[in-house]
Amino acid sequence: MSAEVKVSMDLSLDQYQLKKESKVVKVLIYIGLALWTFINLFPIYWMFTFSLKDNKEIFGENVAGLPKHWLWSNYTSAMNTGHMNVYFVNSIIVAVATILITLIAALMATYAITRMAWKLSGTVNAFFMMGLTIPIHASIVPIYVTLSRIHMLNTYWALIVPYAAFALAMAILICSGFMGDIPKDLDEAARIDGCGVWGIFFRIICPLMRPALATIGIYTFLQCWNELMFANIFNSKDALKTLPVGIQALSGQYTTNWGPIGAALVIATFPTLLVYVFLSKRIQESFIAGAIKG
Amino acid sequence: MKKAKVLATLLAGVMVLSLAGCGSSPAPAATESPAPAATTEEAAPAADTTAAEPAAEASADAINLEMWCIATESDSNRHSYEAAIADVTAAHPEINFTWEAIENQAYKTKIKAAVAADEMPDIFFTWSCAFLGDFVAADRVYCLDDAYQNFKDELPEVMMGNSTYDGKHYGVPLTMNIVGLFANMDILSEVGYSEVPGSYDEFIACCDKLVEAGYIPFGCAGKETWCVTEYLESVIEKSCGADVLNDIFLGRASWNNEDVAAAVDTFQGMVTKGYFDPEGIALSNDEVKANFMAGKYAFYMNGTWNCADFSADADFGPKVKVSEFPVINADKAKLGQLIGGPSDTLAVAASSPNAEAAAQFTFELGRLICHYGYLDGCGLPAWTPFGDTSNINPLTQAVSEICAKADSYVLFGDTAMNADEANTYLSYVDQVYGCNIDGAGFVSGLAADIR
Amino acid sequence: MNKKVISTINIILFLLPALILFVGVLIAPIALSGYYSFFDWNGFGPKEFIGLSNYRELFSSNAIGFMKALRNSLLLAALSVFVQLPVSLGLALILGRGIKGERGFLAVYFMPVLISTVVIGQLWLKIYNPSYGILNVFLTKIGLESLTRIWLGTPETALGACFAPTLWQYVGYHMLLMYAGVKGVSPELREAAKIDGATNGQVNRYIVIPCIKPIIKVSVIFAITGSLKSFDLIYVLTNGGPLHATEVPSTLMINMLFLRNRYGMGSTIAVMLIILCFAFALLINRLFKEDR
């Protein structure tokens, strides 16, 4: 199947314009699409506007319009009281480290599973795939106990290691899809040239896996960026909190003052969206590739 | 000198509280125990002198102590913690003290996970009775009997009752609080009341008038069930009497009690009559409290720790009065039967490498947190007050007067029961508030489901 | 040393990092959870072996309400499969056929996937706020005041109010997967069908959808296991309330573990969750196979 379903975003399909359909259907389709666009964009727009308003505007005078007075002080509150800048950096650190570890572990494991001939490779692959369905919360206390025994609580590692473990299954899945596309003849040629297994892996396979790396990186990034429960329990130090925990804490502090919460939400969201706007094609392709290669 | 007397009698009244370990027992009517001299002159030795003394004996090596508590930046106790910590750490340069505050709900998760992993901080905040009791039963808490000897004179032993298990003391109490009926007198005067009605019939008549005039009588956060219990427990207590409720909470009597069922129906009647803000069910306590302060409700029943925040608001403070919920059935209950008691507690982990120093430090810290908390109006002191207490806000003073006349205290149900039972209880309270079950369903369900 | 030994050593070395991570963080804790599920234990005190009692209590006790929680998450799964996925498929088919503004629509529809669940939860909390939320304000403005609700506070509406953002957020995700599939259908195949006089609907029905079946299968598995595992959004929005109306197995589990100190029972729920997720994944695989 995967051979047929090639990622081909640029394929121009003008031969399938909506010629046969009546104008009415066409208009209806566009109305539907526009409506769904609105449903997707409006909450984000509303979040942005209320992050710049005071309660008076949010609660009555000006519910959905652009702010009358652009209240940037909400952002200062979110940074100073809410420490959103610190949490932002923490989230980045955790995400980047998790991605690196996941990539290395997944590449190596996939290489062993798909390119080294041995009896149990299928079983081991199935074993890793179990990880796809395991809910992350099911193992929270045993992991907590283990982390505390090895004195890793309240460090970045307390999040990085479990996140990497939970991202592994998806990463291996994606990797095997991509690695399957690399012709085995390359290995053979390298072996004849006197390359060892490690040489083949690092010099031939790794460079060819670059598109897979992007896909895995994005998947893993989203997972770490969003996770709340582990982050809440494994790190109690303010200096190490990640964005989701910080937002939850801030919303507890400002239950009745929406502006700073809105500002925090924007801080946690807009950088990702900004990156997305510039790289949207790449990100979409990565997602598609991830799903199809599996 | 009225205040001094009030304080003394308050302590006398509280004295009897919970000698039986966890929970409470009836207190003799607070009698005319001679008031000690005015608090100002007789102030106990200033904070740092007591603090410094035992410190000198401690070893010269730096000791690391870590504390977890729930006094986050938005918590009304924040200031008292900061002030107390500043004083105690100044007096103990040899102790390297670090602390962090975690939001209430997250803290419960965190401290339990830490206990499970035996990774507790040296000193930790806890609720008394069942919450701490589980940890004590697992041998994770350091016994404070020895350290307590140095503070006996300032901390009445009865105040330790809720953190005493098998006759041993495990917790340092901070403040004690009761449930108060806060009233916005501006709204009451709109319907012709200048005082909070003292009898139940008048009280109901007042609520009816409020509803008629378009006011919402009660604000209650349905999203946080403990807020509902503040109302429900008061209604049950004032219908059935403190002993009945207390015996049930402590597992000495069955929930299957017709009087309790009838009281629950009384409470539900208030809900169905529209006394409660229907939006309250989706709101958190902070939001409800903000609504009350914004004049949306006539009454707000909640812990007396709110006195600080209410008084601190220059506009709102003068409008509020605090009183006791009226007696519903005078045959079984009477005024002076209150819900509350010392619950906020500090404890020391058995696993702490410096448990002995931590115990001493905790007492000194607890004493000052109590002191500053009392001055701030965050509750009544569990410790004998010292220093100048003349500036304490009028609401807290009114609470002391209520407590001075206390007959008995029943500790908050969800603190008195163990975690599993408390959550079953809270889930039934939820259903009563949501009118899913009536009083009979409440008592029979609880009788069957509490293990 | 002979070649075979070297290659065995290499295999082990290559697998080692992943295995350590996977076994240490996933498998061992879950095995431990399975073991603890046979005990009455509060997480720190002494353990008491009680055999299958936790499982029996889980399925019979009304106080725990596991069946209700399970029903809720199955309902969410059903909604995902029968509402969310068809919407995604519809969008994918329309966009995949190539219309003006295709890329723009695609980009916008995918946006919610990139937003953190906590942010979405907090945002919808504000949208649903009974007094100031945009939803009630909007309804009032257009004269439908009778439709305003305390969305998250009324048991009748809370479940739906929790599910709406979940479904909304991931429409874009499934759409993108299916879109890729639609784009991958060979143009010649379409062209041939068109020449034979097939309408767009027929092309979709007989050519495109059969071609992207494997992707639909992946989507269905993700949608169902995702629904069974759902936690963050409900935790932020209602934490299972009001009156347990929005309880799902994960919220129950956290409740048991950390509020009720019933570690044995919490572990039992964890085990049940894993079993359910596996069972559904297998079932769906089987269904799609027979279909072929």
**pLDDT per residue over B66-102, tens digit each?**
999 998 877 788 899 999 999 999 999 999 999 988 8
- Does any domain span residue C27? no
Average pLDDT over chain A, rounded to an integer: 81
> Distance between CA atoms of B172 and B159, rounded to whole angstroms?
9
DSSP state of C242: S
CA-nearest of A177, A173, A174, A162 to A128 is A173
**Same domain flag for A124 and A187:** yes
Contact present, A55 and A258 (Cβ < 8 Å): yes
Q: What burial letters (b/e) apply to A197-215, b meaning 16+ CB within 10 Å?
A: beebbeebbbeebebbbbb
pLDDT greater than 80 at residue B440 = yes
Is B103–A249 a contact, with Cβ atoms under 8 angstroms apart? yes
- Does any domain span residue A221? yes
By CA distance, what is B76's nearest residue in A? A253
Contact present, B129 and B73 (Cβ < 8 Å): no
The answer to whether residue B138 neighbours chain A at the CB level (below 8 Å) is: no
- Does any domain span residue A128? yes
The answer to whether residue A236 neighbours chain B at the CB level (below 8 Å) is: yes
Name chain A's partners: 3 or more CB pairs within 8 A: B, C
Q: Which residues contact A226 (CB under 8 A, 6 or more apart)?
A: A244, C116, C117, C118, C232
- Does any domain span residue A226? yes
> Looking at the 3D structure of chain A, how many domains does it have?
2
Q: Show residues of chain A in contact with B106, CB under 8 Å.
A: 232, 248-249
Cβ neighbour number for residue C6 with a 10 Å cutoff: 12
Is B102–A236 a contact, with Cβ atoms under 8 angstroms apart? yes
A130-181 pLDDT, tens digit per residue, is 888 777 777 877 887 788 778 788 889 999 999 999 999 889 988 888 887 7
pLDDT greater than 60 at residue C98 = yes
By CA distance, what is B221's nearest residue in C? C153
Q: Show residues of chain A in contact with C194, CB under 8 Å.
A: 16
Between 3.40.190.10, 3.30.420.40, 3.40.50.300, 3.40.1550.10, what CATH number should domain B179-340+413-449 receive?
Answer: 3.40.190.10
β-pairing, B175-184 vs B380-381, is: antiparallel
pLDDT greater than 60 at residue A19 = no
Cβ neighbour number for residue B102 with a 10 Å cutoff: 21
Q: What is the pLDDT of residue C212?
A: 85
Query: What are the φ/ψ torsions at residue C285 (nearest 5 degrees)?
Result: -55, -45
Cβ neighbour number for residue C101 with a 10 Å cutoff: 13
Residue A156 three-state SS: coil
Annotation: CATH topology of B44-176+341-392? D-Maltodextrin-Binding Protein; domain 2 (3.40.190)
The answer to whether residue B418 neighbours chain C at the CB level (below 8 Å) is: yes
CA-nearest of B93, B130, B135 to B114 is B135
Q: Computed from CA positions of residues B182, B183, B185, B186, in that sequence, does the dihedral angle turn out positive or negative?
A: positive
Is A236–B117 a contact, with Cβ atoms under 8 angstroms apart? no
Contact present, C152 and C235 (Cβ < 8 Å): no
Q: How far is C152 from chain B (nearest CA, A)?
A: 6
- Does any domain span residue C227? yes
Q: How far is B448 from chain A (nearest CA, A)?
A: 29
Query: What are the φ/ψ torsions at residue B316 (nearest 5 degrees)?
Result: -85, -35
What's the domain range around A21? 14-76
- Does any domain span residue A220? yes
Q: What is the pLDDT of residue C290?
A: 65
Which stretch of DSSP H or E encloses residue C181?
helix C155-184
Tell me the residue length of chain A.
294
Tell the residue number behind the tokens 């969750």, with chain if given.
Answer: C273
The CATH number covering residue A187 comes to 1.10.3720.10
Is A138–C199 a contact, with Cβ atoms under 8 angstroms apart? no
**Same domain flag for A72 and A189:** no
Q: How far is A165 from chain B (nearest CA, A)?
A: 21
**Same domain flag for A72 and A178:** no
Is A252–B103 a contact, with Cβ atoms under 8 angstroms apart? yes
**Same domain flag for A129 and A19:** no
The answer to whether residue B109 neighbours chain C at the CB level (below 8 Å) is: yes
Q: Show residues of chain C in contact with B109, CB under 8 Å.
A: 254, 258-259
Domain borders along chain B are 44-176+341-392, 179-340+413-449
Q: What is the pLDDT of residue B51?
A: 41
Most confident of A198-212, B251-265, C39-53: B251-265
Q: Which residues contact B451 (CB under 8 A, 6 or more apart)?
A: B420, B421
Cβ neighbour number for residue B119 with a 10 Å cutoff: 18
Flag the least confident range among A4-8, A191-195, B124-128: A4-8
> Distance between CA atoms of C156 and C172, rounded to whole angstroms?
28
Q: Which two tokens stand for residue C22?
A: 């996977």
The answer to whether residue A238 neighbours chain B at the CB level (below 8 Å) is: yes
> Distance between CA atoms of B393 and C279, rounded to whole angstroms?
62
Alpha-carbon radius of gyration of chain A: 24
By CA distance, what is B103's nearest residue in A? A249
By CA distance, what is A238's nearest residue in B? B100
Q: What is the pLDDT of residue C68?
A: 92
pLDDT band at C291 (very low <50, low <70, confident <90, very high): low
Q: Is there a shared CATH topology between the B44-176+341-392 domain and the B179-340+413-449 domain? A: yes
The two counts, helices (H) then strands (E), for chain B are 18, 14
CA-nearest of B433, B409, B413 to B425 is B413
First vs last C-alpha separation in chain A: 11
Q: Which residues contact C160 (CB under 8 A, 6 or more apart)?
A: none
How far does CA B175 lie from the centroid of its chain? Answer: 7
Residue C46 three-state SS: coil
B166-211 pLDDT, tens digit per residue, is 999 999 999 889 999 999 999 999 999 999 998 999 999 999 999 9
pLDDT band at C260 (very low <50, low <70, confident <90, very high): confident
Asked if the peptide bond before residue B342 counts as cis, ω within 30 degrees of 0, the response is: no
Most confident of B18-27, B63-72, B229-238: B229-238
> Distance between CA atoms of A22 and A252, rounded to whole angstroms?
54
Which residues 42-101 of B have a C-beta within 8 angstroms of C? none
**Same domain flag for A46 and A158:** no
Minimal Cβ distance to C261: which of B118, B283, B419: B419
Percent helix, strand and coil across chain B, each rounded to 5?
50, 15, 35
- Does any domain span residue A6? no
Q: What is the pLDDT of residue A248?
A: 85
The answer to whether residue B116 neighbours chain A at the CB level (below 8 Å) is: yes
- Apex CA B37: angle with CA B31 and CA B40, to 5°? 125
Most confident of A210-214, B344-348, B378-382, C210-214: B344-348
Q: Which of A51, A76, A101 is the last residue of a domain?
A: A76
> Distance between CA atoms of A247 and B103, rounded to whole angstroms?
12
Minimal Cβ distance to A280: which of C33, C107, C184: C107
Minimal Cβ distance to C258: which of B108, B418, B431: B108
Query: What are the φ/ψ torsions at residue B31 (nearest 5 degrees)?
Result: -95, -175
Flag the least confident range among B362-371, B377-386, C190-199: C190-199
> Distance between CA atoms of C94 and C40, rounded to whole angstroms?
55
Contact present, C274 and A134 (Cβ < 8 Å): yes
What's the domain range around C155? 62-291
> Distance between CA atoms of B373 and B78, rounded to whole angstroms?
9
pLDDT greater than 90 at residue B130 = no
- Does any domain span residue C21? no
Is A255–B286 a contact, with Cβ atoms under 8 angstroms apart? yes
By CA distance, what is C43's nearest residue in A? A141
**Same domain flag for A121 and A40:** no
DSSP state of B276: B
Q: Which two tokens stand for residue A61?
A: 């005078």
Query: Which residue type occupies B441?
Result: G
pLDDT greater than 60 at residue C241 = yes
Is B109–A238 a contact, with Cβ atoms under 8 angstroms apart? no
Which stretch of DSSP H or E encloses residue C21?
helix C3-22
Q: What is the pLDDT of residue B29?
A: 37
The CATH number covering residue C111 comes to 1.10.3720.10
Query: What are the φ/ψ torsions at residue B393 (nearest 5 degrees)?
Result: -65, 155
> Looking at the 3D structure of chain C, how many domains does it have?
1
C106-131 pLDDT, tens digit per residue, is 889 988 988 888 999 999 988 998 87
- Does any domain span residue A5? no
The answer to whether residue B109 neighbours chain A at the CB level (below 8 Å) is: yes
Q: What is the pLDDT of residue B85?
A: 96
Q: How far is C156 from chain A (nearest CA, A)?
A: 24
Q: Which two tokens stand for residue B306?
A: 């709110």
Burial of C15 per CB tally in 10 Å (0-12, 13-18, 19+): buried
C-alpha pair distances (Å), C49 with each of C21, C38, C53: 30, 6, 9
Is C98–A272 a contact, with Cβ atoms under 8 angstroms apart? no
Q: Show residues of chain C in contact with A94, CB under 8 Å.
A: none
Is C242–B278 a contact, with Cβ atoms under 8 angstroms apart? no
- Does any domain span residue A164? yes
pLDDT greater than 60 at residue B31 = no
Is B424–C150 a contact, with Cβ atoms under 8 angstroms apart? no
- Apex CA A229: angle with CA A224 and CA A233, to 5°? 110
pLDDT greater than 50 at residue B16 = no
**Same domain flag for A32 and A158:** no
By CA distance, what is A29's nearest residue in C? C94
